[in-house]
Amino acid sequence: MSLTSAEHPFAEFIKILGKGKKGSRDLTQDEAYRAMQMILADQVQEIQLGAFLMLMRIKEETREELAGFVQAARDSIGCNNRPTLADLDWSSYAGKRRHLPWFLLSTLLLAENGIKVFMHGAGGHTEGRLYTEKALETLKISPANSIAEAEQQLAATNFSYLSLQHICSPLYEMINLRPVMGLRSPVHTLVRLLNPFNAQHSIQGIFHPSYRQVHQNAALLLNQPHMAVLKGEGGETERNPDVECLVQSVHNGELIDETWPALFARRHMKAEQLDRQQLIQVWQGEVDDEFAQATVIGTAAIALQLLGKAESQQQAHQLAEQFWLNRNLNRFS
């Protein structure tokens, strides 16, 4: 390790965060933007990156910091020059542990009815979870390997999944530091708001309820037209039908909070193991699983209302039910 007396430009941001209880403060949106800009441009030493991420983790990011990080990431990958090719941006970064990723069937249901859904995520950073990429293998859906291929898939099938690795490799590398650090970092939050294809509508799931409002307010600062965030099952964008679901959204600069009721009076027991084949069996009607079906329909209903396809929860739920009843049962044959 080479040492120099000259202060590294990135040290400014570490000092702001790390001066102790009385001396430290939050970053402004501009400072957060400049910090992430340097990180993504590989202008930061590894030891600085580790210190920065963990200082942010201890205090937790503010809406201004999150907005600054997201804007820097979007600028880095050239989002501003990319046409809007998706109707709905759907982030998938948490992975599932207790239940199968039924939300995938929700997205396919939407795609089957003319809604272009772009999904992005990263798998493998937390042990013991089933990530979207693996589940898509079971559904015989090939992930895209580039932005260009994602565009082609959206045009052909109304659905595409693209790994963060092919969107922004530095962010992908940082999100995979979790096993090294033992903790999540702000990267796990900012990637959910990345919206690489500039979709007018985006939806995110989080695990910790306190992050809902941070996402909502960051989307407001980023001037995102229509965004919804919910505490999803396992942290994914998936409504748990056993409990009421608070959806916090932004619509053309207006903040809206709406509670969707539980669909069952009693909670269901989780399966002893996750059998990915059940995703196909439930879709094809070979397995009757009321929890799975309610999850698929309930998650799709939230997306449909966000998209403006229904004016009320009841209408959205009825439309989602109609989609489910009319689905192509031979899709996976």
> Which pLDDT score, from 0 to 100, does residue 86 have?
95
Q: What per-residue confidence (pLDDT) applies to 5?
A: 72
Cβ–Cβ under 8 Å, residues 194 and 82: no
Report the distance separating Cα 219 and Cα 303, nearest Å: 17
Confidence of residue 21 (pLDDT cuts 50, 70, 90): confident
Q: Is 125 a residue whose pLDDT tops 80?
A: no
State which of 1-10, 14-23, 107-116 shows the largest mean pLDDT: 107-116
Res 324 pLDDT > 90: yes
Q: Which two tokens stand for residue 196?
A: 């690489």
Residues 229-258 have a mean pLDDT of: 95
Secondary-structure breakdown of the chain: helix, strand, coil percentages, each rounded to the nearest 5: 45, 15, 40
- Strands of the chain (E only): list them: 88-92, 117-121, 159-163, 201-206, 226-231, 245-251, 254-260
Q: Is the confidence at residue 1, as pLDDT, over 60?
A: no
- Strand-pairing partners, residue 204, are 229
**Average pLDDT value over all residues in the chain:** 93
- H or E element that contains 147: helix 147-157
With tokens 């939407």, the residue in question is: 110
Closest CA to 320 of 310, 331, 308, 332: 310
Spatial distance between the Cα atoms of 1 and 53, rounded to a whole number of angstroms: 21
61-65: which pairs have CB atoms within 8 A and are 24 or more residues apart?
61/186, 61/189, 61/214, 62/26, 62/27, 62/214, 63/213, 63/214, 63/217, 63/218, 63/220, 63/221, 64/26, 64/27, 64/28, 64/29, 64/32, 64/221, 65/26, 65/27, 65/29, 65/32, 65/186
For residue 2, pLDDT beyond 70? no
Residue 4 pairs in a beta bridge with none
pLDDT band at 4 (very low <50, low <70, confident <90, very high): low
Structure tokens at 321: 């039910």
Residue found by looking up tokens 């530095």 in the block:
170
What's the pLDDT band for 38 if we cut at 50, 70, 90?
Answer: very high
Segment 231-253 shows an average pLDDT of: 95
What is the mean predicted confidence (pLDDT) over 179-202?
Answer: 88
Amino acid identity of 271? Answer: A
Residue 325 tokens read as 């009843």
Distance between CA atoms of residues 100 and 275, nearest Å: 8
* pLDDT average, residue stretch 313-319: 98
Share of the chain above pLDDT 70, in %: 97
The domain ranges of the chain are 12-76, 84-325
Backbone angles phi, psi at 77, to 5 degrees: -100, 5
**Domain 84-325 carries which CATH code?**
3.40.1030.10
How many C-alpha atoms does 178 have within 13 Å on its Cβ side? 18
3-class DSSP state for residue 319? helix
Tokens describing residue 313: 């929860």
Q: Which helix (H) or strand (E) is 301 found in, with range?
A: helix 290-306
Q: What pLDDT digit, counting tens, does each position of 191-230 carry? A: 999 999 999 999 999 988 888 999 999 999 999 999 999 9
12-76 to CATH, choices 1.10.510.10, 1.20.1050.10, 1.20.970.10, 2.60.220.30: 1.20.970.10
Give the mean pLDDT of 250-254.
96
> By three-state DSSP, how is residue 126 classified?
coil
What average pLDDT score do residues 34-51 get? 96
The listed range with the strongest mean pLDDT (80-84, 97-101, 236-240) is 236-240
